Structures are given as C-alpha cells and as structure tokens.
Amino acid sequence: MSVNSAASTAKISAALGSMEQGSVVSEVAERLLGYFTSGEIAVGTRLPAERQLAASLGVGRSAVREALAALEILGIVIVRPGSGTYLRDGISELLPRTLSWGLMLGAPRTRELVELRSGLEVQAGQLAAARITEDALARMRANLATMEASLEDLGTFVEADAAFHREIAAASGNQVLQELLQSIRSLLRIWVDRALTDEGHAASALAEHREIFKALESRDEAAVTAAMRSHMGTASRRLLAGFDADRGATD
C-alpha cells in the first residue's frame, strides 16, 4: 500500500468514528453511506480493510462485511478481488440509489423521516408560492389530470403524485431543499407506494393536491402553507398506518 493510500484509509477510519456496542449491520451500512454521501471522499477511493473499519467503528468484522455486501448490491461500492473495496459512484448518483434503502434497512427512522419530509414540503411550497412559473403550473396541471384519470391505477397515480411534488420542490428555487426532499422521498418510497390502498384514498389525495395547486396558482403563500400542512398531515397518517400494519404483520 502506498503512503498516500495508507493516509487516505486512515482518514476514512478516523472520520467514521466508533459506534456503540450492539449496533446492527444496518447501522454500520447507514454510517458508511452517510460518509460516502458527505462529499469528503472522492469517487474511486479505496476503502480501509474490513479489519480497520471494524476497529474504527467498534464492531465485529462480520458486521462490516455484511454492510459492505449490501452496499455492493446497491451499486455503491465495488469489490475488486486482490485489490480492495472502492467507492463506485459520486453523491449525485448515490442519492437516487437509496430508492430501496428504507426497506433494506428496515426503515429504522421512518417516523423521523416522515416528520422531516412534512416540514420540508411545507417550506418548499412557501418558497414556490413566490417563484413558481407558468410552465411549472402547466406541468402540475397535467399531473393533476393524470391523477384524476388514474384513480383505479394506483401505480400511475403515485407517479403523478410524486411528479407534482417534484415540481413544487424545483419551483422553490432552493437546490439543497430539492435534493433533500428527493433523498427523503427515495428512502420512504416503499412506504409511500403502500400508503394509497384504494380508490377512496386516491380521490382524497387528489382533492388535497387540487387545493395546493389552487393556492400556488394564486401565489397565496398563506393558503399554500395551510393546504400543504393539511395534505402532509393526512399523507403522513396514511403512510405511518401502512408502515405500522406492515411491521405488525412481520413482528
């Protein structure tokens, strides 16, 4: 190993820090993913050996091995036999790959993510009220039309719903907020897909989105805030109800 490579792996180990005893594989993977997406490590960097990572995190080598295997499945790291494990993608490619991460980790922080998402969606709506363009409104109008036509096709409905919210995030003009929301939506995607279980839920969600659109079209920040808070409150309850039911069935 070269001097530069040794220094790099030592830096990574120090940055990760130790973990409390009893941490599970998912927490090791989450710690690694958090560091990989922090921007402090370059694409193509070789990671420290399992033994070194285990010592840094204060866990067994088997936990590190399983966590790295999960990250390899997601395409985040690549293992080169006889060479080592390397970071495969940059942050722009990592975030979309978290699509199934919430399910893979057992959604350990689902409730906290739901709360955070609700607050960020309201903030995005407030910013969009003053910044949204006619083109964005036209696309959102098309999203609503798709939702209305897809009340019995929940897969298509959910996609149009997500596109509607992406337009609001983009219209906020805040790139950091937009990326945070995209990441959180990816983490929660498996539960969002299960939240709308019938046509009645979809019809209610459509009505909520129409209220948000009406407020945005009027550039009325107070109305947008009220409509988005109401919608996110209902959406969060639907999502968590599905999450709790799923966990109850598997406990």
**CATH 1.20.120.530 domain extents, the chain:** 107-250
For residue 43, CA distances in Å to 65, 90, 175 come to: 20, 6, 22
Tell me which of 3.40.50.2000, 1.20.120.330, 1.10.760.10, 1.20.120.530 is the CATH number of domain 107-250. Answer: 1.20.120.530
Q: What value does the mean pLDDT take over residues 202-223?
A: 97
105 has pLDDT over 50: no
- Mapped onto helix, strand or coil, the DSSP state of residue 73 is helix
pLDDT at 182: 83
Q: pLDDT, tens digit, for every residue of 154-193? A: 889 989 999 999 999 999 999 889 988 887 887 777 677 6
44 has pLDDT over 60: yes
- Mapped onto helix, strand or coil, the DSSP state of residue 102 is helix
Which residue is it, tokens 């109401």? Answer: 230
Provide the terminal-to-terminal Cα distance of the chain, rounded to the nearest Å. Answer: 46
- Mapped onto helix, strand or coil, the DSSP state of residue 34 is helix
| Between 104 and 109, the higher pLDDT residue | 109
The residue length of the chain stands at: 251
Give the rounded percent of residues in the chain with a pLDDT score beyond 70.
Answer: 73
For 109-164, the DSSP string reads THHHHHHHHHHHHHHHHHHHHHH--HHHHHHHHHHHHHHHHTTT-HHHHHHHHHHH
- Cα 147 from Cα 199, distance rounded (Å): 11
User: What band does 209 get if pLDDT is binned at 50, 70 and 90?
Assistant: very high
User: What band does 103 get if pLDDT is binned at 50, 70 and 90?
Assistant: very low
Lowest mean pLDDT among 137-151, 197-211, 225-239: 197-211
Lowest mean pLDDT among 38-42, 63-67, 214-218: 38-42
User: What band does 134 get if pLDDT is binned at 50, 70 and 90?
Assistant: very high
State the architecture of 3-91 in CATH terms. Answer: Orthogonal Bundle (1.10)
The alpha carbons of the chain give a radius of gyration, in whole angstroms, of 21
- Cα 222 from Cα 216, distance rounded (Å): 10
**CATH 1.10.10.10 domain extents, the chain:** 3-91
The pTM is what? 0.60
86: part of which helix (H) or strand (E)? strand 84-87
Q: Are 172 and 124 in contact (CB under 8 A)?
A: yes
Average pLDDT along the chain: 80
Joined tokens for residue 89: 């993608």
25 has pLDDT over 70: yes
For 211-247, the DSSP string reads HHHHHHHTT-HHHHHHHHHHHHHHHHHHHHHHHHHHH
